[in-house]
Structure 1
Amino acid sequence: MQQTVLSTSEHETPPAAHGRLGPLALAALGIVYGDIGTSPLYAMKEVFAGVHPVPITPDNVMGILSLVFWSLVIVVSIKYVAFIMRADNRGEGGIMALMALALRKVHDSHQRTGIMLAGIVGAALFYGDGVITPAISVLSAVEGLEVATPALKAYVLPITIGVLIALFSFQRKGTAGIGALFGPVMVVWFGALALLGIVNIMDEPSVIRALNPMYALAFMAAKPLVGFLSLGGVVLALTGAEALYADMGHFGRKPIQLAWFGFVLPALVLNYFGQGALLLEDPGAIQNPFYHLAPDWALYPLVALATAATVIASQAVISGAFSITRQAMQLGYAPRMEVQHTSEREIGQIYLPGINWSLLLAVIALVLGFRSSTNLGAAYGIAVTGTMVITTLLAFIVVRNLWGWGLLKSGLLLAIFLVIDLAFFAANAIKIEDGGWFPLVFGFGVYILMSTWKRGRRLLRERMASEAIALPPFIEGVGPGTILRVPGTAVFLSGNPDAVPHALLHNLKHNMVLHERVAVVTVRVEDVPHVPEAEQIAAETLENGFFRIIVNYGFKDEMDIPKALERCASFGIVFDAMSTSYFLGRETLIPKLNSDMSLWREKLFIGMFRNAGSAASFFNIPPNRVVELGTQIVL
């Protein structure tokens, strides 16, 4: 079946419709900007007191402030908010959506493989980033306690772990109940950032001169090595930029842009410049420059507010991990997992127990292993910058192939963004030995799993196709009087609509009967986020009581086979739920030497396949209407 045509948003009206721009911008504050909004907790501290500390001198402070400001302008404001967000996939953003767009007009198999490889690596790095964000955010917030009362230092780790356990334990209840509080809490948070910054800038207003990019250029020119190493800390001010693009489908482009330019960017700049002003007056404040912005009486309330903000930031990352996992499942990059819906109204609010508890264990291991936000700062950044590089490369393919930009125009844009991304990536690569190895190792593990699953599924399809029987001659051979037909309807799921499903053959072999009505159903996932209901079903009536039905979903659509079959009534095919049985194949895989995959990857794929979730649950099929038939397949 022909795939649905993709489009980008250059000429589309975003879903933020008219009159709802303000409320959506407020909601975006609570979901989109949590990560980048909590960066002031640790970014400046990492620059001046991290693994490669920059000496605190007036010239260095002014240079760093200028670097932070212009990084926010160029990377976040221009690259992501003004440019990348125009490359949407039917309103949806994120690395998987961008990969689907990049594949749209690419037909060469090697190029497609390269693009898919980049997309998988980007998704894997996202998980690495997703593990570190809750750890460093919550830990840096709770560390404010030791600034208020040094005697509380021993309680920082236990409190941090307690907050994280509570956060992950709450995921199964969903965020519908408290989601309405996210926006107002973040309004208070960004207001506090701006206020703290203004108060300290008033004591040292000369820092405003750092808005001049010449301070950044002079700093990099005077001390090239120090300037280069400082990028490993400066990039922490940009963490969360990818979320602006990934969460575009929830709010639309304009609300996110309005929130950024109208509130978030000014608040962040004021706070960073306030920290710079504080360091010029009191270099000793580098112990924790963010909390030293506040007067003593405000420290405990600020710790509470910061903890709430970091929990919201972590919530957004966790929800993003759930979302990207479901997209990966439906696009064939991950095995089926249990998906629970936490809201009756919002289909995007989901909970994946396996992912949730795996993330919690990894986050707690990080906190216990690194023990401070300064140590975690060394691990943070490499995954973020790696994803930035991949986003730039995929965006180049989109503007070249879909937008029709010439090679010179698209190449120039690519070069500008790529030089900046690679500079940040290289500066963070130096920190690999100091902790940057963790997100790389974690991401590499995710990449191995995703690529093994994708390759194993392709190999399995090839094996099954080689043993398949064509559907048309089979239907002709089971005409009247040839085999016993029993009342009811049998639905067989098949990856190939032109072949006889294996489950049908096994049912015929063992039970020696066919149902009066037999439906061969094929599910296809298009490379768009949503397929309109009117375009989801293609059905035809064949001979001898057979029907062929193709159901098309987007990679963010909820898959529901019984509901899809109900819509076949418009094609004159009516299904009675109480007389319909669903026959599913359950394959037992056997590894084979000298296969297309190495033996260890075959065994890994078989283990993943064996532990994959139920197809009945994945497709929302009533379990009391399911019959499973097993078969063995040699890979």
Structure 2
Amino acid sequence: MTSSNDSGTPSAVPLGDHAVQVGQAPHSQQGLLKLAAGAVGVVFGDIGTSPLYAFRETFAGHHPLTLDAAHIMGVVSLMFWSMMIVVTLKYVSIIMRADNKGEGGSLALLALVSGRTKTKRWTRGIVLLGVFATALFYGDSMITPAVSVLSAVEGLAVAAPAFGALVLPIAVVILVFLFAIQRSGTARVGALFGPVMLCYFAVIAVLGIISIIQTPGILWAFSPTYAIRFFVSDSVRAFLALGSVVLAVTGAEALYADMGHFGRNPIRVSWLVFVLPALICNYMGQGALLFREGVTALESPFYMLAPDSLQLPLVFLATAAAIIASQAVISGAFSVTQQAIQLGFIPRLRIEHTSAATAGQIYIPLINWLLMAMVVLLVLFFQTSSNLTSAYGIAVTGAMLIDTCLLGVVLFRLWNWPAYFAIPLLAVFFLVDGAYFAANLTKVPSGGWFPLLIGFLVFTVLTTWASGRQLMIARLREASMPIKVFIQSAANAATRVPGTAVFMTSSADGVPHALLNNLKHNKVLHERVVLLTVKIADEPFVAEADRIVLEDMGQGFHRMIIRYGFMQEADVPAALARVDKCGGAFKMMDTSFFLARQTLLPAERPGMMLWREKLFAWMLRNAESAMEFFRLPTNRVVELGSQVEI
């Protein structure tokens, strides 16, 4: 859990498990069917567009397979059982039960696990794993829009070969347009997501069923014996094929990450009743098509499932689905960034709200434009979706493997499952996830290096900020004066002036540096002095009844703690407006907010390597103003500088 430091920067300050009561998630009162339809539009865009390229890449990618019955049946069987084990069993049936008061995702799971294991020696390792999974997500969020949109638009070369040369420019234009409209919000467009994706899944299911009817023998691939025979008869190629087969389950982690928006049951219903059957039908239909057509269908088995006259409409439908999948990933990047800021892993960034009705619809300009630049560069560098798929998969499989590690902690430490049940289950998950991750490592030289590079860069930024912030707070606490001593010595000696002074502080004890500097330079104290700490709990929501804790320290001094969940936004004036037991109501025109802005100095006992200190100092200088982050009135804020050695 975190709190704000003197400048409003989140910092690690633990709260007891009893400290907060979580409010109900917003989806609790909505209809199951409505939410299930909405989940189809948002949650399943990534995994839903996998049929565009997954089957093709398995046979014609960097490790091509011979087009014969054994390989076709083996691949179809692998895809089916991968969806059953990884998505249905691991995520839908088990991991989605590990919600943090209704919220899911790597950071929510990390907050849940680390909050219950703070006394364990291996807690730091768990935190680093969770942070690295978050870092890998950013690499995934760059590749997903690029590969989804490009693979969809490439259908033009199939439906209308004369337009083949326009594939790349059209894909770039679509992606730039998609990122450009983020500022205006996606509420209106989002209303179309559900119907469009429902239509898309229905169409690909029907196309698959038509193909299966022509070659019903493909249904034998439901048997796991074909996947097993594939490994027994051609172990090396089967292992290498896993690097492409895993493309069929990319997006599985989105089910868990988006749980807070829709709820566990609507996502389960959408997956089991609609999405999973549609995907199975389409993959089996593509396999049946390869049985009949052979190499001629390998150019794009997805589009060639449709008659020639319907291929162009299918291109438009698939492109719309790819745009929706990309939108979901972009929105996910905004949401993950907001959580990371609240939990103290990323500096404050400017966050804009794109909907007055829905708090979760946000826009972060820096993240948006960085993603756009990287996505466009990826498309221009790799040129084709086939080349991009070599970079796709490592980030996803790495995150899945980390989720399994965190799941192990959940099973043993939180749920107390018996070892005879938990160990075999975890062994299956580690075997599957480990095999997929190892197979994708073979793609590192041909493009897999990109998400790993992005992941390590983001991981460095996240850990540098978290470590630097903790060091800075530790140094500030070392030099702080006990508040009781300060009140006794200064309260009567200083001149008291009318009004209220609110001093932001990271610690629930000690005198804020801004207060010491104000007294040193201005020689006055306000009639009412409030030492305010904003704490971010490791829970997604904190109920209004538990929002504020007050302590009257005498002589006009008050200690106030305002608590928020990591999915909530800090609005200090709104919280103060509800307070009437701290010397009277707060009037903004009579209230001044004092913040401390730190300047870092080189220390004789450096806590970090020099290059990390410089990186932290740069992030500190460029962090969003605490005034805007906490929504303080612009004309009532005073910033006082202080120097800190780390």
Normalising by structure 1, we get a TM-score of 0.97
For structure 2, the 5+ residue unaligned runs are 1-13
Equivalent residues of 2:558, 2:582 under 8 A apart: no
Question: Pick from 401, 405, 414: which aligns with 1:389?
Answer: 401
- The structure-2 alpha-carbon separation of the partners of 1:593 and 1:222, relative to structure 1 and needing over 3 Å to count, comes to farther
Q: Offset of 1:179 from its aligned partner?
A: 1.2
Q: Which residue of 2 aligns with 1:339?
A: 351
Q: Offset of 1:17 from its aligned partner?
A: 4.8
Q: Which residue of 2 aligns with 1:415?
A: 427
Q: Which residue of 1 aligns with 2:74?
A: 63
Q: Offset of 1:210 from its aligned partner?
A: 0.5
In the alignment, the residues of structure 1 paired with residue 281 and residue 241 of structure 2 have an alpha-carbon distance, to the nearest angstrom, of 20
Q: Which residue of 1 aligns with 2:374?
A: 362
In the alignment, the residues of structure 1 paired with residue 491 and residue 603 of structure 2 have an alpha-carbon distance, to the nearest angstrom, of 39
CA displacement, residues 399-440 of structure 1 (integer Å, 9 cap, x when unaligned): 211111133332222111111100000000111011100000
State the SS of the aligned residue for 2:187: coil
Equivalent residues of 2:549, 2:560 under 8 A apart: yes
1:373 to 2:405 alignment:
no
In the alignment, the residues of structure 2 paired with residue 372 and residue 434 of structure 1 have an alpha-carbon distance, to the nearest angstrom, of 13
Q: Percent identity?
A: 53
* Partner AA of 1:100 in structure 2: A
Equivalent residues of 2:21, 2:543 under 8 A apart: no
State the SS of the aligned residue for 1:542: strand
Within-5 A mapping of 1:2-41? 2-5=15-18, 17=28, 20-41=31-52
State the SS of the aligned residue for 1:378: coil
* Partner AA of 1:604 in structure 2: L
In the alignment, the residues of structure 2 paired with residue 628 and residue 356 of structure 1 have an alpha-carbon distance, to the nearest angstrom, of 29
In the alignment, the residues of structure 2 paired with residue 18 and residue 509 of structure 1 have an alpha-carbon distance, to the nearest angstrom, of 54
Q: Which residue of 1 aligns with 2:574?
A: 563
Question: Pick from 125, 128, 151: which aligns with 2:136?
Answer: 125
Question: Pick from 65, 73, 89: which aligns with 2:84?
Answer: 73
1:450 to 2:462 alignment:
yes
* Partner AA of 2:364 in structure 1: L
CA displacement, residues 82-134 of structure 1 (integer Å, 9 cap, x when unaligned): 11000000000000011111113213363121111001100001111111000
- The structure-2 alpha-carbon separation of the partners of 1:349 and 1:19, relative to structure 1 and needing over 3 Å to count, comes to closer
State the SS of the aligned residue for 2:188: coil
Question: Pick from 309, 324, 329: which aligns with 1:317?
Answer: 329
Q: Offset of 1:518 from its aligned partner?
A: 0.5
* Partner AA of 1:434 in structure 2: S
CA displacement, residues 184-238 of structure 1 (integer Å, 9 cap, x when unaligned): 0000000111011011112111101111111111111111111111100110000
Equivalent residues of 1:4, 1:528 under 8 A apart: no
In the alignment, the residues of structure 1 paired with residue 58 and residue 150 of structure 2 have an alpha-carbon distance, to the nearest angstrom, of 18
* Partner AA of 2:507 in structure 1: N
Q: Which residue of 2 aligns with 1:236?
A: 247
CA displacement, residues 439-480 of structure 1 (integer Å, 9 cap, x when unaligned): 000111100000000000011011111111111110111233
Question: Pick from 249, 262, 272: which aligns with 1:251?
Answer: 262
Within-5 A mapping of 1:197-236? 197-236=208-247
Question: Pick from 439, 460, 473: which aligns with 2:472?
Answer: 460
In the alignment, the residues of structure 2 paired with residue 297 and residue 177 of structure 1 have an alpha-carbon distance, to the nearest angstrom, of 31
* Partner AA of 2:298 in structure 1: I
Q: Which residue of 2 aligns with 1:476?
A: 488
Q: Which residue of 2 aligns with 1:148?
A: 159
1:300 to 2:312 alignment:
yes
- The structure-2 alpha-carbon separation of the partners of 1:446 and 1:534, relative to structure 1 and needing over 3 Å to count, comes to same
Q: Which residue of 1 aligns with 2:534?
A: 523
In the alignment, the residues of structure 1 paired with residue 577 and residue 159 of structure 2 have an alpha-carbon distance, to the nearest angstrom, of 63
Answer with 593-602 or 517-526: which moved more: 593-602
Question: Pick from 252, 269, 272: which aligns with 1:261?
Answer: 272
* Partner AA of 2:397 in structure 1: T
- The structure-2 alpha-carbon separation of the partners of 1:212 and 1:49, relative to structure 1 and needing over 3 Å to count, comes to same
Kindly indicate whether structure 1 or structure 2 has the higher relative contact order, using CA contacts under 8 Å at least 6 residues apart. 2
Q: Which residue of 2 aligns with 1:493?
A: 504
State the SS of the aligned residue for 1:475: helix
CA displacement, residues 559-594 of structure 1 (integer Å, 9 cap, x when unaligned): 101111122225664211210110111111123465
- The structure-2 alpha-carbon separation of the partners of 1:492 and 1:40, relative to structure 1 and needing over 3 Å to count, comes to same
In the alignment, the residues of structure 2 paired with residue 516 and residue 13 of structure 1 have an alpha-carbon distance, to the nearest angstrom, of 39
In the alignment, the residues of structure 1 paired with residue 361 and residue 24 of structure 2 have an alpha-carbon distance, to the nearest angstrom, of 24
Q: Which residue of 1 aligns with 2:516?
A: 505
CA RMSD of aligned residues (A): 1.7
Question: Pick from 97, 102, 116: which aligns with 2:113?
Answer: 102
In the alignment, the residues of structure 2 paired with residue 13 and residue 520 of structure 1 have an alpha-carbon distance, to the nearest angstrom, of 30
In the alignment, the residues of structure 2 paired with residue 132 and residue 502 of structure 1 have an alpha-carbon distance, to the nearest angstrom, of 45
In the alignment, the residues of structure 2 paired with residue 432 and residue 492 of structure 1 have an alpha-carbon distance, to the nearest angstrom, of 51
In the alignment, the residues of structure 1 paired with residue 244 and residue 365 of structure 2 have an alpha-carbon distance, to the nearest angstrom, of 34
- The structure-2 alpha-carbon separation of the partners of 1:321 and 1:264, relative to structure 1 and needing over 3 Å to count, comes to same
For structure 1, the 5+ residue unaligned runs are none
State the SS of the aligned residue for 2:593: strand
In the alignment, the residues of structure 2 paired with residue 409 and residue 8 of structure 1 have an alpha-carbon distance, to the nearest angstrom, of 32
In the alignment, the residues of structure 2 paired with residue 364 and residue 429 of structure 1 have an alpha-carbon distance, to the nearest angstrom, of 24
- The structure-2 alpha-carbon separation of the partners of 1:366 and 1:530, relative to structure 1 and needing over 3 Å to count, comes to same
1:575 to 2:586 alignment:
yes
Any runs of at least 4 consecutive aligned residues in structure 1 with deviations exceeding 6 A, and if so which?
6-9, 12-15
Answer with 559-568 or 27-36: which moved more: 559-568
Equivalent residues of 1:8, 1:87 under 8 A apart: no
CA displacement, residues 58-95 of structure 1 (integer Å, 9 cap, x when unaligned): 11101100000011011100100011000000000000
In the alignment, the residues of structure 1 paired with residue 523 and residue 19 of structure 2 have an alpha-carbon distance, to the nearest angstrom, of 46
Q: Offset of 1:306 from its aligned partner?
A: 0.7
* Partner AA of 1:198 in structure 2: I
Q: Offset of 1:545 from its aligned partner?
A: 0.5
* Partner AA of 1:375 in structure 2: N
- The structure-2 alpha-carbon separation of the partners of 1:18 and 1:336, relative to structure 1 and needing over 3 Å to count, comes to closer
State the SS of the aligned residue for 1:490: strand
Normalising by structure 2, we get a TM-score of 0.96
Question: Pick from 165, 169, 189: which aligns with 2:200?
Answer: 189
* Partner AA of 1:576 in structure 2: K
Q: Which residue of 1 aligns with 2:4?
A: none
State the SS of the aligned residue for 1:602: helix
Q: Offset of 1:14 from its aligned partner?
A: 8.3
- The structure-2 alpha-carbon separation of the partners of 1:427 and 1:159, relative to structure 1 and needing over 3 Å to count, comes to same
State the SS of the aligned residue for 1:548: strand
Q: Which residue of 2 aligns with 1:116?
A: 127
In the alignment, the residues of structure 1 paired with residue 416 and residue 18 of structure 2 have an alpha-carbon distance, to the nearest angstrom, of 16
* Partner AA of 2:51 in structure 1: P
State the SS of the aligned residue for 1:110: coil
1:51 to 2:57 alignment:
no
